[in-house]
Chains A and B, each alone.
Chain A
Amino acid sequence: MELSLFIIWGAYFIGLYFTLFWLLVFLDKGAQDSPQKVLPNHPLVTVIIPAYNEAESIAKTIESVLHLHYPRDRLQIIAVDHGSTDNTGYLMDAYAPRGVIVLHIQRTSRDRKGVAVNAGLSHARGSFVACLDADSYIEPDALHKMLPHFANPAVAAVVPRMFALGTSTLMKKIQWVEYIVTFLYKKLMAHVDCLHVTPGPFTVYRKSFLNKVGNFDPYNLVEDMDMALRLQRHQLKIIQTHDAIVTTETPTTWIEFYRQRNRWYKGGFYNVLKNKDMLFNSKYGEFGLLQMPMMIGSALLSLTVFTIIYYQQIFQPLYHKLLDWYYTGFPFTLSLTTFLQNLHYLDVNYSRLFFIYFVVVIGLVFIITAFRVGNIRLFSKGIRIPVYYFALYPLLIFIIWCGVVKDLLFGRKQTW
């Protein structure tokens, strides 16, 4: 009891501190892109599209690259079929006449996406390399918005703004909000050099730096996070843009979502362990001091706080009430009238109410700010969608972390 109280207060303090910290970063720096010098000419850019069984979206992905507003002769497009068992490879071959280089590589059971990207990299001639997941589509003006950031010689990667595509299912609706909120969070992280992921959907890298940090880890569960961590380790800069937009397909069902996040979180956990020397290391600035601990901390907070809150505030009282009702023959009307008669304003714990209220308000402020920053009306897809997100998202994250802990303890194998 005392321990759980201590954990709750500690979690509250840390959670509040971090949220306020990020809001302060926002007040200080905003979320717009800083004006950049235009690159004088069109550097050669290589776009690598790794794919494993993406027949449904691969054509649309390649088309989106072909429609980039960029001189076609300054653009090298490499599509990598990583041993797909559907007709992804066949669909890719159809683009060979239009100048797309198509690679077909074998796939071993240990392989992750990094193998496919590295295969593409070995053929890349551009001084900049963009990776594009085969379920994502890039907006035509993206390169124009992104490349100028490389005028700063320390910049190793530029990340576009990601949008979740479609709101057909509840899961997609929640992710639609999630991606908008996450963007603000990432933009703020980037302001203080804290980005920990360079996502598969169209992160543009400076190729020399990719080579410098040793290209992608072929066996990493989340190779894009591993890459970001390595760039951070080499003190290289990652920029999050506001104006370049990529849309991505999101899991449709709960179980697909669970599998995706389970891989992300588990991979994230391994990657933090792998780089544990960066934890609390001020050599890595806010990234070491704030971001690395938070990646582990948020998992712990989510797990402990929700276990305690769900158990103490929901499960236990409900169980007790049902038990008592069972022993007293379910006197519903009688309990209700006595409850109403006994109601007294001093019975409410206003202190606790204030703490809960404050967290809710600050959470709402963050969400509303994220929508404003994204120039999207909060209720543009209906009032219910943000409400679903607010009500269900913390619970979903909790469930996923429970699964991750279970897998870590019982050592379940992970597939791509």
Chain B
Amino acid sequence: MVRVPINKKRHLIALLLTLSIFVIGFLIGYSLQGERINYIQLIGKEQRLEFDSLQLQSLYVSSLLQEENCAAIGKALERNVDTLEKTRARIESFIKDNKGIEEYDLLKREYTLEQLRYWFLARETKTICKQDALSVLYFYASEDVCDDCRTQGSILTNLKNQFHDKVLVFALDASFLQEPLVALVKESFNVTSLPTIIIENEPFPSFTSQDTLGATFCSLLRTQPEICENYDEV
């Protein structure tokens, strides 16, 4: 018999259709990336302004000794650190979604600096205002380098949800060496293993359970929030 001959045109159309589906899909991805970068840059801009404002406020308070404004500063600080942390988590998940996009790395660097800037400010305002809040530095790395970091991160997020403005968490990717400041801070706190958590100046150099961390928070706070009933003293 004569076989039905191979219809090259049909194969070509199928190929073109498949390719166009791919192109459409990737174009959607591309425009999504643009949107995401714009969004994060916008938040970044806001954070920068907020930071300048807060820095001035704390300068104002310290030079004019107007401690009645401390509460407002504390609230604003907490809110900003919270936004910062959420944006950081968002950047991390975006990076996970699309690896090797340079813009994300730049944004990550910006946000790392922002974290550190806020961390300094938090320590500064704490001395000025004698606030009853803890600043927590959390050194982490991506899952393929640090097995426990994901769980440790969830524990800190959960604790943050429990302690609200009593605890400020600053998360730093310890393997992010594009930013030299990270290495510097790591060295000054003598961070050699991951995850490492530093509560005020006290280091916890390995995976630390929720109970230990919660109890530490409670012991370091002057007035204990309600949640401390759930944590035994260490």
With A191-B4, A327-B154 in contact, is A344–B21 under 8 Å at CB? no
Cβ contacts A2-27/B at 8 Å (1 or 0 each): 00000000000100110011001100
Question: Are A351 and B210 interface neighbours, CB within 8 A?
Answer: no
Q: Is B26 an interface residue (CB 8 A)?
A: yes
Stretch at the interface among B10-18, B55-63, B129-137: B10-18
In the complex, what residue of chain A is closest to B160 when comparing beta carbons?
A338
Least Cβ distance of A196 to chain B in Å? Answer: 14
Residue of B with least CB distance to A351: B29
- A289 contacts the other chain (CB 8 A): yes
Q: How far is the CA of A334 from the CA of B163 in the complex (A)?
A: 12
Residues of chain B with a CB closer than 8 A to A329's CB: 158, 210
A351→B18 contact, CB < 8 A = no
Cβ contacts under 8 Å, B3 to chain A: 193, 235, 284-285, 287
Bound together, the chains give a CA A327 to CA B29 distance in angstroms of: 35
Q: Tell whether A323 is near chain B: CB-to-CB under 8 Å.
A: yes
Interface residues of A in 324-376 (CB under 8 A from B): 324, 327-329, 331, 334-335, 338, 342, 344, 346-347, 349-352, 354-355, 358
**Whole-angstrom CA separation of A172 from B172 in the bound complex:** 56
User: Smallest CB–CB gap between A198 and chain B, Å?
Assistant: 16
Tell me the smallest distance from the CB of B26 to a CB of chain A, in Å.
7
CA distance A234 to B132 in the complex (A): 88
Contact B154 A354 (CB under 8 A): no
Main DSSP-derived SS at the A contact region: helix
- Say whether B180 faces chain A, with CB atoms less than 8 Å apart: no
Which among A21, A193, A358 has the greatest number of chain B C-beta atoms within 10 A? Answer: A21
Per the bound structure, the CA–CA distance linking A154 and B26 in Å amounts to: 47
Which of A289, A328, A352 counts the most B-chain CB atoms under 10 A from its CB? A328
Known interface pairs A284-B3, A351-B29; A16-B161 also in contact (CB < 8 Å): no
Q: Which of B11, B24, B29 contacts A21 (CB 8 A)?
A: B11
Q: Which of B10, B25, B93 contacts A347 (CB 8 A)?
A: B93
- Distance of B34 from chain A, by nearest CB (Å): 11
A328, B28: Cβ atoms closer than 8 Å: no
A236 within 8 A of B: yes
Interface size on A, residues (CB 8 A): 42
Q: Is B234 an interface residue (CB 8 A)?
A: no
Within the complex, the shortest CB–CB distance from A290 to chain B, in Å, comes to 9
| Residues of B contacting A342 in the complex (Cβ-Cβ under 8 angstroms) | 86
Residues of A within 8 A of B157 (CB): 338
Q: Is the CB of B158 within 8 A of A334?
A: yes
Judge if A412 is at the interface, Cβ distance under 8 Å: no
Q: Distance (Å) between the CB of A173 and the closest chain B CB?
A: 32
Chain B minimum-CB-distance residue to A341: B86
Distance in angstroms between the alpha carbons of A338 and B2 in the assembled complex: 67
Closest beta carbon of chain A to B78's beta carbon, Å: 15
Main secondary structure of the interface of B (DSSP, over half): helix
Known contacts A285-B4, A338-B161, A344-B90; decide if A20 and B25 are in contact (CB<8 Å): no
**Is B223 an interface residue when CB atoms closer than 8 A count as contact?**
no
List the B residue with the shortest CB-CB distance to A18. B14
Q: Does A16 lie within 8 Å of B158, measured CB to CB?
A: no
Which residues does chain A contribute within 8 Å of B32, judged by CB atoms?
Answer: 346, 349-351
User: Known contacts A324-B150, A346-B36, A350-B29: does B209 contact A286 (CB below 8 Å)?
Assistant: no
Task: Let me know if A328 and B1 touch, CB within 8 A.
Answer: no
Check: A237 CB closer than 8 A to any chain B CB: yes
Question: How far is the CB of B194 from the nearest CB of chain A, in Å?
Answer: 17
In B3-61, the 8 Å CB interface with A consists of 3-7, 10-11, 13-15, 17-18, 21-22, 24-26, 28-29, 32, 35-36, 39
Smallest Cβ distance from B165 to chain A, in angstroms? 15
- Tell me the chain A residues, 233-266 only, with Cβ under 8 Å from chain B: 235-237
A9 nearest in chain B by CB position: B22
Complex contact A20–B18 (CB within 8 A): yes
Tell me whether A286 and B151 are in contact (CB under 8 A).
no
Query: Cβ of A236 and Cβ of B18 under 8 Å apart?
Result: no
- Contact at A24–B10, with CB atoms within 8 Å? yes
Assess whether B97 is interfacial by the CB under 8 Å rule: yes
A149 CB to closest chain B CB, in angstroms? 13
Residues B209 and A21 in contact, CB atoms below 8 Å apart: no
- Of A287, A324, A338, the residue contacting B151 (CB under 8 A) is A324
Of B18, B28, B150, B151, which is within 8 A of A16 by CB? Answer: B18
Among B11, B97, B151, point to the contact of A327 (Cβ < 8 A): B151
- Cα distance A350–B32 in the bound complex, in angstroms: 7
CB pair B210 A354 closer than 8 Å: no
In Å, the complex CA distance between A25 and B6 comes to 12
Contacts of A344 in B (CB 8 A): 90
Task: Enumerate chain B interface residues (CB-CB to A < 8 A).
Answer: 1-7, 10-11, 13-15, 17-18, 21-22, 24-26, 28-29, 32, 35-36, 39, 86, 90, 93, 97, 150-151, 154-155, 157-158, 161-162, 209-210
Known: A237-B1, A286-B6. 5 other contacts (CB 8 A): A20-B14, A192-B7, A286-B4, A289-B6, A324-B154
Top 9 closest A-B pairs, CB basis?
A154-B1, A351-B29, A324-B154, A285-B3, A328-B158, A21-B14, A20-B14, A17-B18, A351-B28
